[in-house]
Structure 1
Amino acid sequence: MAIANYTDLLAEAHRQPDPQRLLFVFAKAELPDHPDAQQRERFERGEGGVLTPALCVDKTLDELSDMSSLVKESRRTGVEWDIVFVAALAGDGVTPPTSEEAEGPLQHMVEALQMGSIGNFLAFDRQGNAVDIQ
């Protein structure tokens, strides 16, 4: 199944044979250090820039409902973000992984994103639409 939005992601996660815990890294678009005029112009048009991890969290499927709820919850942190990257962590067939078990994979996810390695993650905008980041 092609995942076109956050709703599709949740539906696909619910279909998996093993219980899932979803890992979220919220990232903020920023200008790179020492941007040139072209980079600054593209960024002002809403293009380009660098995505910097700003906040991360893990959730079981029972803790998730829709994108607007996720956005509302993130607002309470006071941390601004533009794109959320998501990965799934499968459980043991009976229960999803615990938050403690998700700590290492979530940290690896943050590190991968800091290095610009985004290919293993789904990305969504604040409206819940899948984003293809080139």
Structure 2
Amino acid sequence: MNIEHFDDLLRAARAQAQPQCLLLVFVQVELPEGSSEAERADFEAGQGGAMVPVMCVDLAPDGVAGFEQLRAEADGRGAAWAMVLAGALGGQGGQAPDDAQVSGALDRLVQRVQMGDIDGLVPFNRAGEALSLSAR
């Protein structure tokens, strides 16, 4: 399945044989201290920057109707965010991952994002559209 919108991810997660838990890290994009003039110019043109996690949540795919609901709930928590990075944690034996597994996975995911490692995650903008991010 091609993931072009967050709602595509929800459908894919719901279709899995084992229960899924979506792991979401909401980030703001900032210009790091000590950036060069070229990096500043790129940032002002909407390119580059560092992803700074501002909120993370786990979500059962059936726990949200779609991206509009997710965005409204995220905005209601008061943290300004520019994009959300999504991953998934699959259950086993028909059981969803337990709280300890989810908590540990979220902690590791936030650490990865802080280090700039987003391999395997799907980034979405505030409209729920999947983004293609490239490293320079």
Q: TM-score range by the shorter chain?
A: over 0.9
Deviations 1:32-73 (A, max 9, x none): 112222222221222111111111000111212211111111
Separation in structure 1 between the aligned mates of residue 91 and residue 65 of structure 2, nearest angstrom: 19
Match in the other structure for 2:46: 46
**Structure 1, unaligned stretches of length 5 or more?**
none
2:48 equivalent to 1:67: no
**Structure 2, unaligned stretches of length 5 or more?**
none
2:126 equivalent to 1:109: no
For residue 98 of structure 1, report the CA deviation from its aligned partner: 3.2
1:99/1:72 CA distance change after superposition, 3 Å: farther
Match in the other structure for 1:25: 25
Match in the other structure for 1:100: 100
Separation in structure 1 between the aligned mates of residue 72 and residue 98 of structure 2, nearest angstrom: 23
**TM-score, normalization: structure 1?**
0.93
Paired residue type of 2:11: A
SS in 2 for 1:86: strand
Match in the other structure for 1:90: 90
Separation in structure 2 between the aligned mates of residue 99 and residue 75 of structure 1, nearest angstrom: 24
Deviations 1:5-49 (A, max 9, x none): 111101111111001110000011000112222222221222111
Separation in structure 2 between the aligned mates of residue 120 and residue 111 of structure 1, nearest angstrom: 14
Match in the other structure for 1:15: 15
**TM-score, normalization: structure 2?**
0.92
SS in 1 for 2:25: strand
RMSD of Structure 2 on Structure 1 (CA): 1.2
